[in-house]
Amino acid sequence: MLFSSLTFLFAFLPLVFIIYYIIPNRYLRNVVLLLFSLGFYSWGEPSYIVLMLFSLVFNYSFVLVFDYCKHKHNIVLARVIFVLTIMVNLGLLGYYKYAAFLIGNINFMFKTNLPLVKVALPIGISFYTFQILSYVVDAYYGKVKVQKDFVLLSTYVALFPQLIAGPIVRYQTIEDELLNRKENINDVANGIRRFIIGLGKKVILANQAGLIADTIINQSNYVGFSLAWVGILAYSLQIYFDFSGYSDMAIGLGKVFGFHFLENFNYPYIASSITDFWRRWHMSLSTWFKDYVYIPLGGNQVKAYRWYINIFIVWFLTGMWHGATWNFIIWGLYFCIILIIEKIIMLKVLKHVPDFFRHIYALFFIVLGWVIFRIEDPTKMIQYFKTLFGMNGNNSIKAFYHLEIAHLFPYLLLGMLGATPLVGVILKKMNKHTLTGMLLDVYLLGVFVVCIIFLVNSSYNPFIYFRF
């Protein structure tokens, strides 16, 4: 089920909201959220609710077991069970997401004929697996208390606002709120506002930018230099508003039900370096890899050659996390190389460069990275890069009109503006005062109405990060 679907907006969400607030008991409210969350997850593919339930029961049970062993001072057995728990979680993720990719490459390289694993990718498996792993690791090392109530732990993992596409919520972020949260009218109102902003990002900006990007990139053999740049810039806006829009909706829905998730985006396209970009983009994933992979490997507190290995591992895994195709791995290693170069020399150079040129530098390499991310076929990817650098000639920007997407150009301009902090600053200032706050609510109501009009007239258009 999509947040940006009429079924969710006018059936699922009102129903869960009404039932949730009718029930006065906090624990029973968690039961309501859990049941609706499982229903939400099973809506599109009911069979994978079995995998979700297995994951919930398995991790709940095994964490209790290794915690019991630790309290009985059987550290060796506790560690064995802990490692087994990690391996089972990674094994499930590996089987469903990477088995076909691995077997296909083995067959290609060694000329074997191993049967391919034909299973559909469970939606959101990368997100909820990483969320579970963070709890398992933190519980083992005593960073959080082991949750002994199955309903509360399951609510944390399966909570529908963040279940499908993040943010990746750490257990300690909402540990106290599972039983002690205080819902209030301000949080509900601000949550609804945040949800509408995210909905607008997705429906009005991301989907329209996506039409431009798909039209140009899918016809890349017939476009030249100018249109190629328009196409990849449109995709850059599409993926930002698509994913940050989902995060806004998730954070907003969390507030509606009394939860406070951490931010996941901080205007990444105003970054002044690639290092800065990754502190602003998908922050819950970046910090996850930092805390659970990079730092345990030694981080940057090691010799140079070890640091190179550490950052290679992190970015190889980051690429793999996004998908079981070579373009995602190349995308991860692309940023690995740039970050190494920045660490060695570029950050020192950039200190002496005016802000404007630092932003241009960062945007240039970010946008080139999206070419790798977007185009899976290596031949088409190389062809697109050639076009971007003028090796396939140029066509007039007038060709934009011949592709019948010229009417979408204003959405690109609006998206460029929305990718900066300007709009956010204005909205925050408006929300501080009664009169302007009322105007803001009227404006957001208008945005919601426009979104509904778009949704009524549109076809199925899922979030990009659903496939990860």
Token pair of 13, please? 């969400």
Residue type, 417: L
**Cα 149–Cα 152–Cα 155 angle in degrees, nearest 5:** 145
Report pLDDT digits (tens) over 229-284.
999 999 999 999 999 999 999 999 999 999 999 999 999 999 999 999 999 999 99
Query: Where are the chain's structural domains?
Result: 6-181, 187-467
Cα 444 to Cα 431: distance, rounded to the nearest angstrom: 11
Q: Are 20 and 161 in contact (CB under 8 A)?
A: no
Which member of 71, 73, 260, 322 is catalytic? Answer: 322
Instruction: Say which residues have a Cβ less than 8 Å from residue 32's Cβ, sequence separation at least 6.
Output: 16, 19, 20, 23
Q: Is residue 402 annotated as a catalytic residue, yes or no?
A: no
The end-to-end CA distance of the chain, in Å, is 16
Q: How many CB atoms lie within 10 A of CB 117?
A: 14
> Burial level of 46, CB count in 10 A (0-12/13-18/19+)?
exposed
For 101-108, the CB contacts below 8 A with 24+ separation are 101/324, 101/325, 102/324
Can you give the pLDDT at residue 426?
A: 81
Can you give the pLDDT at residue 419?
A: 94
- The dihedral over CA atoms of 227, 233, 238, 239, expressed in degrees to the nearest 10, equals 130
> Burial level of 322, CB count in 10 A (0-12/13-18/19+)?
buried
3-state DSSP assignment of residue 451? helix
Q: How far is CA 102 from the centre of its chain?
A: 24
Residue type, 369: G
CA-closest candidate to residue 289, choices 310, 308, 267: 310
Q: How far is CA 451 from the centre of its chain?
A: 22
Task: Give this prediction's pTM.
Answer: 0.93
Can you give the pLDDT at residue 393?
A: 67
What is the C-alpha R_g of the chain?
23
Cα 171 to Cα 95: distance, rounded to the nearest angstrom: 25
Mark out the alpha helices in 257-297 (DSSP H runs).
274-277, 283-289
**Cα 1–Cα 268–Cα 418 angle in degrees, nearest 5:** 70
Q: Are 27 and 178 in contact (CB under 8 A)?
A: no
CA-closest candidate to residue 203, choices 468, 465, 462: 462
Cα 394 to Cα 42: distance, rounded to the nearest angstrom: 48
Which residues of the chain are modeled with pLDDT < 50?
none
Q: Are 372 and 331 in contact (CB under 8 A)?
A: yes
> In whole angstroms, how far apart are CA 245 and each of 33, 196, 409?
22, 9, 20
Can you give the pLDDT at residue 188?
A: 97
Q: Is the peptide bond before 421 cis (omega within 30 degrees of 0)?
A: no
For 41-46, the CB contacts below 8 A with 24+ separation are 41/123, 41/124, 41/158, 41/160, 41/163, 41/164, 43/1, 44/1, 44/123, 45/120, 45/122, 45/123
Cα 331 to Cα 318: distance, rounded to the nearest angstrom: 9
Mark out the alpha helices in 111-184 (DSSP H runs).
125-140, 150-158, 160-163, 171-174, 177-180
Element (H, E) at 290: none
